[in-house]
Amino acid sequence: MIKVVLIGSGNLASHLSRALILAPNIDFVQRLSRNNSNSPYFDPSVPVIRELSELTDADIYILAVNDDSIENLSKQLKHLQGLVVHTSGSVAMRILDPQLRRGVLYPAQSFSLEKKIDFKKVPLVLETENEHDYKLLSDLASELSDRIYKLDSAGREKLHVAAVFANNFSNYMFYCAEELCIEAGISFDILKPMIMETGMKVQELSPGKSQTGPAIRNDLQTINRHLEQLKGDKKVIYENITDAIIKSFKMKEKNGKKL
Amino acid sequence: MIKVVLIGSGNLASHLSRALILAPNIDFVQRLSRNNSNSPYFDPSVPVIRELSELTDADIYILAVNDDSIENLSKQLKHLQGLVVHTSGSVAMRILDPQLRRGVLYPAQSFSLEKKIDFKKVPLVLETENEHDYKLLSDLASELSDRIYKLDSAGREKLHVAAVFANNFSNYMFYCAEELCIEAGISFDILKPMIMETGMKVQELSPGKSQTGPAIRNDLQTINRHLEQLKGDKKVIYENITDAIIKSFKMKEKNGKKL
């Protein structure tokens, strides 16, 4: 049994808590929550403490707190013997106090309080300072999920940049689409099944293979007609992405012919 | 019973064909296919013809052909008495020969041959020249799908611009993410569940409400660290979209405060 303490009371903490309870070989001994927030989303069977001084011995302490709180919190945990891991995608492991046995357990998923999720399918990205701790952390992670990845802080930073494109920027494309619909008095609902399909297609097919639209066809007539209808930032974005698509896939074609 | 002839043998034609066969009040009398392509994807119960001269009388002729072929094909159909509709999102209705009773039946979904789809959930965007024909076309459409929308050619063009953002551009964001992963030796699989979640979230929540990431937090430290890792088109895209996100949501905040 791996003894685990969870620190946090937000979205991620609530989902981690549920996954920890379900895991047969984990002894989820305590949760630290400074306030009572979101308590309905946590199983009452796990003892909740309010103060750091009440922390008990554990093999692993999971910090499911805001990025900005990690460094300070870790300084108050210096006395702990167990492995202390943060759960952030964009924060380096070294931000944890150097007197600690340090690690990262980053669940690469976006969570919302209300929506239950199959944690077994959440990719967990792991990092530790040494092999011995990695063994412990991956034993824990394997109890929670079937998808385990090892990345150092530099790799996780690169993954984070990619995630900004894959999620934040794609969501902004949906936002632009919604705005264009609203301006034109068209229901955004029309586009929702297409958006769902785009997300589903990527699960099986490389996005390079499923790229469609006027840009990849180099259909300048349509592109120009579209640009006439756009202004401001949307026009700039349309121009830049169209330009990038044309270049990306032209280059591919060229390379293909050369090979 | 509405008598329908389908012209085409591509992705969309195969899905339309299946939906037409399933609809109880539609008499799917013929399919015109110039060649034998994709024949395994079509039910053999519907008579296939090869020549325009073999076309029979019908209430509606659906042209499920390439955008570029619509105009020419319609010129060869001048003798038809029925309603002739094309299925393109980006082509105006008036491209059909003016001697015809003209209309548009645009399924706002991306189709692939192999993947079956619940056609009842595909948004169908309709246009005709008069109310009488609209009644006929919407009767047909209601047999195929539960989601019917009326838009004229100008509205459909605007929808098409929005769809370029929602699908083509979001897919390109996934493509950039995949490239960044490949460059860094990271498995793109890590990001797939997040991408799925992004698409699913939009089904219920406005993308303006689910926008996350360094840009909306105006987290310049992270943004600059990310920009250092990017070059070329990806850097330009990162800068432009980040800039647009910051402006969009700042303006919203402002407006929110003013109201």
* Contact call for residues A200 and B196 (beta carbons, < 8 A): yes
- To the nearest whole angstrom, how far is the Cα of A238 from the nearest Cα of chain B? 8
Which residues fall within 8 angstroms of residue A144, CB to CB, at 6 or more apart?
Answer: A16, A19, A20, A23, A26, A119, A120, A122, A124
Confidence of residue A255 (pLDDT cuts 50, 70, 90): low
Asked if pLDDT for residue A109 goes beyond 50, the answer is yes
Q: Are residues B33 and B51 in the same domain?
A: yes
Shortest Cα–Cα distance, B226 to chain A (Å): 6
Domain with residue B224: its CATH number is 1.10.1040.20
Q: From the candidates B11, B111, B190, which should be mutated to test the interface with A, based on the most A CB atoms within 10 A?
A: B190
B83 and B203 assigned to the same domain: no
Residue positions counted in chain A: 259
Judgement on whether residues B110 and B10 belong to the same structural domain of the protein: yes
Contacts of residue A222 in chain B, CB cutoff 8 Å?
90
- The residues near B89 (Cβ < 8 Å, ≥ 6 apart) are B106, B108, B125, B156, B159, B160, B163
User: Residue B27: in which H helix or E strand, if any?
Assistant: strand B26-32
Q: Select from A146, A153, A173 the residue whose CB has the most chain B CBs within 10 Å, as the one to mutate to test that interface.
A: A173
Sheet holding B101-107: strands in order across? B48-49, B26-32, B2-7, B60-63, B83-86, B101-107, B124-128, B148-150
Asked whether residue A197 falls in the same domain as residue A122, the answer is no
Same domain, A60 and A7: yes
pLDDT for position A256: 56
Task: Give the full edge-to-edge strand order of the sheet including A60-63.
Answer: A48-49, A26-32, A2-7, A60-63, A83-86, A101-107, A124-128, A148-150
Nearest to A198 by CA among B202, B215, B181: B202
Rg of chain B over Cα atoms, rounded to whole angstroms, equals 23
**Are A31 and A116 in a shared domain?**
yes
Please report residues of A whose CB lies closer than 8 A to that of B159.
181, 184, 186, 190-191
pLDDT of B255 reads 65
Residue from the list B155, B171, B222 with its beta carbon closest to the beta carbon of A90:
B222
**pLDDT of res. A37:** 82
Task: For residue A202, give both structure tokens.
Answer: 């990527």
Q: Please tell me whether residues A130 and A183 are part of one structural domain.
A: no
- pLDDT of amino acid A126: 98
pLDDT value, residue B254: 64
ipTM over 0.95: no
pLDDT surpasses 70 at A254: no
Please tell me whether residues A144 and A180 are part of one structural domain. Answer: no
More confident residue, A5 or B212: A5
In a shared domain, residues B137 and B32: yes
For the stretch A9-27, pLDDT in tens is 999 999 999 999 999 999 9
Helical (H) or strand (E) element with B43: none
Last residue of a domain, one of B121, B151, B181: B151
A147 and A181 housed in the same domain: no
The CATH number of residue A81's host domain is: 3.40.50.720
Residues B160 and B54 placed together within one structural domain of the fold: no
pLDDT in tens, A39-97: 888 999 999 999 999 999 999 999 999 999 999 999 999 999 999 999 999 999 999 99
**3-class state of residue B176 by DSSP:** helix
Can you tell me the distance from the alpha carbon of A87 to that of A65, in angstroms, rounded to the nearest whole number? 8
Give yes or no: residues B167 and B127 share one domain: no
B63 touches A at CB < 8 Å: no
Looking at B124, B151, B178, the residue that finishes a domain is B151
Residues spanned by the domain of B185:
156-258
> How many domains are there within chain B?
2
CB contact A125 to B (< 8 Å): yes
Q: Which of A151, A172, A204 is the last residue of a domain?
A: A151
Mean pLDDT rounded to a whole number for chain A: 94
- Which amino acid is located at A208 in the chain? G
Q: Count CA atoms closer than 13 A to A162's CA, side-chain side.
A: 28
Low-confidence stretches of chain B (pLDDT < 70) are: 253-259
In this prediction, residue B258 carries a pLDDT of 36
Percent of residues in chain B assigned helix, strand, coil, to nearest 5: 50, 15, 35
